Chains A and B, each alone.
Chain A
Amino acid sequence: MADLTKKYDVLVIGGGNAALCAALSARLEGASVLVLERAEKFYRGGNTRHTRNMRCAHDEATGTLTGPYPEDELFEDLLRVTEGETDEELARHMIHESKDMLNWIVEQGVRFQPPLAGTLGLGRTNSFFLGGGRAMLNALYNTAARIGVDVLYEAEVTSMDIEEGMFLSATAHIDGKDETIRAGALVAAAGGFESNIDWLKEYWGEAAENFLIRGTANNQGTILKMLLDKNVQQIGDPTQCHAVAIDARAPKYDGGIITRLDCVVFGIVVNKHSERFYDEGEDIWPKRYAIWGRLVAAQPDQIAYIVFDHDSLHRFMPSLFPPIKADTIGELAAVLEIPAETLEKTVTEFNGAVVDGTFDHTILDDCHTDGIEPAKTHWARRLETPPYYAYPVRPGITFTYLGTRVNKEARMIMDDGKLSANMFAAGEIMSGNVLGKGYAAGIGMTIGSVFGRIAGREAANNARN
């Protein structure tokens, strides 16, 4: 049972992957640990609940990984997706540590599954949680309970007492009361600020009102803000985030994985004026998946429509909502409430520009258009088999990259370059250190687990000394 009158060795704020890895690791070092999670028990673990896999380096195939994924290769991949926006020393350190994570996290009760049908061709590089992120969290929480980590749910931290880079205490709202909790060291693992629409507006303007948030509404970034206000050094571009195009009918928050759509390549994408605005055939998954959130965010009213014909209907993975359907392009436009004549014109022009080739959506094929702007450089096929379908899409924000600067010990670095005396950070709240932009599937969990484990260990040692 949590005892709020005592001074804990380590206080962990958050309840996701990063927080639990930190808590377990600190506890295994012998520290007394309190976890404060803002969510109720069912929603514990913020965005981690929605995850499916993590990307760790390994030298050989295992029962659940189809082949080796050396450290250098992972680093190359990271360099490519971030276009160099990464702290090489920190990234390499993380990647090195990620190898042992595959053992450590299993020791903490997490289970992986062998590659199966739905593992999206990531079977060599990524380890998939059996039962997904919530199963993974359940395992971590069960282990935490067993080894004596104290956890409080519905315990939102509302302020912190920090003096010159030294954490003294935190105030949390628990059972209708404000409680002050003292601890020898802090691990901040409270996620990003993607759910804070007002904060997003500072960078995106009114457009942010139309963003959908794929994960929890609890990641308001309040802890991040408190730390930055107390002179912790900021890292990462605040406008950078992982954003994909998701079904516009998804709930505002927490729609999770099932609202994603990956059928852009099978048709055309138009905005609310029924006009195309970008090359739908530019790149292969997963890169194309990650650019469409931003592209749609830049369109009027932050809405777009993926339009395709019957021939493509069963070529991609199903999603939660059925596509909107009509017998003619004009009728489809009417249902979507976008200009019908323009849509007919857009489709006619597109069809007229298609140069036939051999369609293969798994490679950059030779089906393209000629003479229209923007071109569709691959997978271009005429929309000619009724009925016609459309998915309305909006930007779906996965997570943000703005964070607190840390060193290899996951220790926060202050504005003046000094190290914090006893404050550590892990997970999304510091992901900007290694992920300046772009995204490689599974890297979010790697950042959380690896830095969580380090932060917990360092915080425990720090508190003891």
Chain B
Amino acid sequence: MHGTDTLTEADRLMTVCNSCRYCEGLCAVFPAMIMRQEFPDGDLNYLANLCHGCGACFYDCQFAPPHEFKVNVPKVMAQARAESYEAYAWPRAFSGLFARNGLAISIIAALSVAIFIFGFAVVNDPAVFFGVHTGPGSFYVLMPHNSMVVLFGAAFLYAIVASIMGARMFWRDIGEPASTLREPQSLWQAMKDAGKLRYLDGGGADCSADEDATPDHRRFYHHCTFYGFMLCFAATSVATLYHYLLGMVAPYPWYDAPVVLGTIGGIGLLIGPVGLLKAKLKRDPDMQDKERFGMDVAFLAMLFLTSLTGLALLFLRDTSAMGILLALHLGVVFSLFITMPYGKFVHGIYRFMALVRYARESHTTT
């Protein structure tokens, strides 16, 4: 007996696949499956999060629909994954945000942007809000640095706490001991596998949009997105160090580390999400979890907007548009932070942890 219909179906599929095993060379999911004879809920959630949704096993499967066995691993794993995000959400009361995620995130983002603009307009004199400010400290004319740090620090901290709580739920659900997270070998292996998106390539054939193998370059676009995000994160971290350690105050000149990192990362964050969205639209609808379309798109849109508003701020910071752009950018970033634990962002955490478990399993069982 399983907790949900999706898990019941996932169990059926794993039973089919386990008596076939033709896909064992494609990714980590099938070798992990082979280590098991039965599939309790926790293990299914583990396998679902281990699946990168590359689609190879769908086009390679002789039992895919219209065959009567109706084997569609990518789709069912995507559904199980999304349901697992909901189950692990912390606090529980917010798990409903996953249900109509696209709408929820749009509303939160819009509200957040509105509050920043409104706040700036109320706190500041219109002449300041729409004025031209240049040189170090010009952002802080509109919002004092300390309040910015407190507000964003709190939002960021919240995102981290909520994500950690979710991660704990996941780890407990799949029944993996905490000690695995202290194994350097497994962590390092998982970091390499995640960093390269090793399992998004269908065993080397690269992910494709259809059985005629039209490439959709999802791996490339995901790299743009992920590394773009990391560079932007690095830019913010360096800027924080500059501020507190070196007493250097933003905005920084174009050639300085925070700006260079942020610009390159920002470009990645423009190209990546657009490419991923394009690939998503092109992708075989039979393989997709259509109900979660909103969730996927919302996260891509948030990343794209974060970068777009950030870059716009960079290029127009010396004009009178700076005030409104700063409010926009901060509004988007703020909502990105607070919605992170309730959207597609969490896939990265659970996938990484699933890879850690897989690394542990594969070196202890062989």
Contact = CB atoms under 8 A, between A and B. Distances in A.
Whether A and B are associated in the same complex: the answer reads yes
Interface of A: 42, 49-50, 52, 111, 113-114, 116-118, 128-135, 138-139, 141-142, 145, 251, 254, 256-259, 314, 317-320
Nearest to B59: A138
Contacts of B22: 52, 129, 131-133, 257
8 contacts: A113-B203, A130-B204, A131-B203, A132-B23, A135-B205, A139-B213, A254-B67, A256-B20
Given A131-B26, A145-B212, A320 B15 contact: yes
Contact of B21 (A114, A118, A141, A256): A118
A117 B16 contact: no
A319 B16 CA distance: 7
Contacts of A138: 59-60, 211-213
Given A131-B56, A251-B68, A318-B18, A256 B24 contact: no
Contact of B19 (A50, A130, A145, A318): A318
Given A117-B34, A256-B62, 15 more contacts: A42-B67, A114-B25, A118-B24, A118-B34, A130-B203, A131-B60, A132-B20, A135-B59, A138-B212, A254-B67, A257-B19, A257-B20, A258-B16, A318-B37, A320-B16
Task: Pick from A113, A259, A318 the residue with the most CB of B within 10 Å.
Answer: A318
A320 B19 contact: yes
B226 interface: no
Contact of A314 (B18, B19, B37, B212): B37
B233 interface: no
B284 to A, nearest CB: 12
Nearest to A135: B60
B25 A116 contact: yes
B31 interface: yes
B37 to A, nearest CB: 6
Which 4 A-B pairs give the minimum distances between C-beta atoms?
Answer: A132-B22, A113-B25, A131-B60, A118-B21
Task: Pick from B18, B62, B212 the residue with the most CB of A within 10 Å.
Answer: B62
B66 interface: yes
A198 B69 CA distance: 26
A256 B37 contact: no
Contacts of A135: 56, 59-60, 205
A299 B36 CA distance: 35
Contacts of A133: 22, 62
Contacts of A42: 64, 66-67
Interface of B: 15-16, 18-26, 31, 34, 37, 56-57, 59-64, 66-69, 202-205, 211-213
A314 B202 CA distance: 30
Q: Is chain B's interface secondary structure helix, strand, loop, or mixed overall?
A: loop
Contacts of B61: 132, 134
Nearest to A53: B22
A258 B31 contact: no
Nearest to B71: A258
B205 to A, nearest CB: 7
Contacts of B204: 111, 130
A199 B31 CA distance: 42
Task: Pick from B16, B34, B60, B68 the residue with the most CB of A within 10 Å.
Answer: B60
A139 B60 CA distance: 10
A50 B31 CA distance: 20
Contacts of A131: 22-23, 25-26, 56-57, 60, 202-203, 205
A320 B212 CA distance: 29
A65 B256 CA distance: 53
Contacts of B67: 42, 254
A132 B60 contact: yes
A139 B64 CA distance: 17
Contacts of A314: 37
A206 to B, nearest CB: 26
B150 to A, nearest CB: 53
A259 B69 CA distance: 12
B126 to A, nearest CB: 63
B133 to A, nearest CB: 58
B212 A142 contact: yes
Contacts of B64: 42
B287 to A, nearest CB: 14
B25 A258 contact: no
Task: Pick from B16, B22, B211, B212 the residue with the most CB of A within 10 Å.
Answer: B22
Contacts of A130: 25-26, 203-205
Nearest to A128: B25
A116 B24 contact: yes
A314 B36 CA distance: 11
Contact of A117 (B19, B24, B60, B211): B24
Nearest to A133: B62
A254 B64 CA distance: 12
B62 A132 contact: yes
Contacts of A50: 62
Contacts of B19: 257-259, 317-320
B206 to A, nearest CB: 11
Contacts of B205: 111, 130-131, 135
A244 B211 CA distance: 31
Contacts of A317: 19
B27 to A, nearest CB: 10
A257 B211 CA distance: 22
A135 B59 CA distance: 7
Contacts of A117: 21, 24, 31, 34
A50 B37 CA distance: 23
Contacts of B202: 131
Contacts of B25: 113-114, 116, 128, 130-131
Contacts of A111: 203-205
A48 B167 CA distance: 44
Contacts of B37: 314, 318
Contacts of B59: 134-135, 138
B213 A116 contact: no
A258 B62 CA distance: 11
A145 B20 CA distance: 29
A258 B20 contact: yes
B227 to A, nearest CB: 28
A114 B204 CA distance: 12
Nearest to B12: A320
Nearest to A247: B19
Nearest to B22: A132
